[in-house]
Amino acid sequence: MAGPCGNIKPDPAMQGDSRAVSSSQQGCHEQLEAMVRKHLAAPSQRPTAAHTREAFEAIRQRVTSDGRPLVFDSFCGTGMSTALLAAQNPDKLVIGVDKSAHRLNKHGPLAGDNYLLVQADCGDFWRLAHEAGWRATRHYLLYPNPWPKPGQLKRRVHGSADFGALLALGGDIELRSNWQVYVEEFSQALSVAGFEAHSELFTSAQPLTLFERKYAGSGHQLWRCRCQLGHNTRPRAAEHQTR
Ligand SMILES: C[S@@+](CC[C@H](N)C(=O)[O-])C[C@H]1O[C@@H](n2cnc3c(N)ncnc32)[C@H](O)[C@@H]1O
């Protein structure tokens, strides 16, 4: 029988010998505030990828009829955190989203009936979920790719045109990273959007994800930002419209 992490096959590369994030950027990006304001004022016009729309439609009925409050686990990788969060929250339906079929396929059979794994682009998925009237009670973003070069700001969650769609889903949000700058920027972007965020160093006695296990095992410091977006909220700095 599958354990609470699903049947994820052990991967020696995930055990713990990784280099800390290296960047020429030592603090929050100087363009961050302007970028966040620009994106909140003029949300993404990017067409929704067909594969994400199909993946969304494939679970729409199930989610709508389930009725339990929703927990989102965006950038879920193999879905280890999705399964753990589901085991900890039997009264919630947990939706893990990742674009990588390779990572998701490592999960094996689902270990419970209160979580789903979806292969989709997170930004597109957030917009579709919002349009469908779904709202997050909690939203985890665990170790998104750091994109540490200064020129990669737009690829970070808070620097992307998808940031408003993330905020529109609401809920208690938690982002974790082994790069302090990423967490501080996320916190600052939330503040620009009118929310109060709290970031801190933390230790992970029981890793929630494979990357968390690898980073902790490699002696990295782990950082997190938490913020209550509330329910049915919209960013206050600029009204965000979903398509
Ligand atoms: C560093 S891994 C972290 C995975 C997992 N949360 C963990 O901690 O083990 C980042 C993940 O983000 C996924 N990803 C990156 N961009 C994405 C996007 N736009 N939509 C969905 N998933 C994405 C990647 O496929 C990858 O699995």
How far does the centroid of ligand 1 lie from the alpha carbon of residue 96, in Å?
10
The verdict on residue 108 lying in a domain is: yes
Is residue 50 scored above 80 in pLDDT?
A: yes
The verdict on residue 12 lying in a domain is: no
Q: What digits encode the pLDDT tens for the residues 164-223? A: 999 999 999 999 999 999 999 999 999 999 999 999 999 988 999 999 999 999 999 999
Question: What is the total count of domains within the chain?
Answer: 1
How far does the centroid of ligand 1 lie from the alpha carbon of residue 99, in Å?
7
The verdict on residue 7 lying in a domain is: no
SS (H, E, C) the chain: CCECCECCCCCHHHCCCCCCCCCCCCCCCCCHHHHHHHHHHCCCCCCCCHHHHHHHHHHHHHHHHHCCCEEEEECCCCCHHHHHHHHHCCCCEEEEEECCHHHHHHHCCCCCCCEEEEECCHHHHHHHHHHCCCCEEEEEEECCCCCCCHHHHHHCHHHCCCHHHHHHCCCEEEEEECCHHHHHHHHHHHHHCCCCEEEEEECCCCCCCHHHHHHHHCCCCEEEEEEECCCCCCCCCCCCCCC
Substitution candidate for ligand 1 out of 84, 94, 99, 141 with most atoms within 8 A of CB: 99
The verdict on residue 197 lying in a domain is: yes
How far does the centroid of ligand 1 lie from the alpha carbon of residue 237, in Å?
28
The verdict on residue 38 lying in a domain is: yes
Q: What is the CATH number of the domain that holds 187?
A: 3.40.50.150
Of 232 and 63, the structure prediction assigns the larger pLDDT to 63
The verdict on residue 55 lying in a domain is: yes
Q: What digits encode the pLDDT tens for the residues 138-166? A: 999 999 999 999 999 999 999 999 999 99
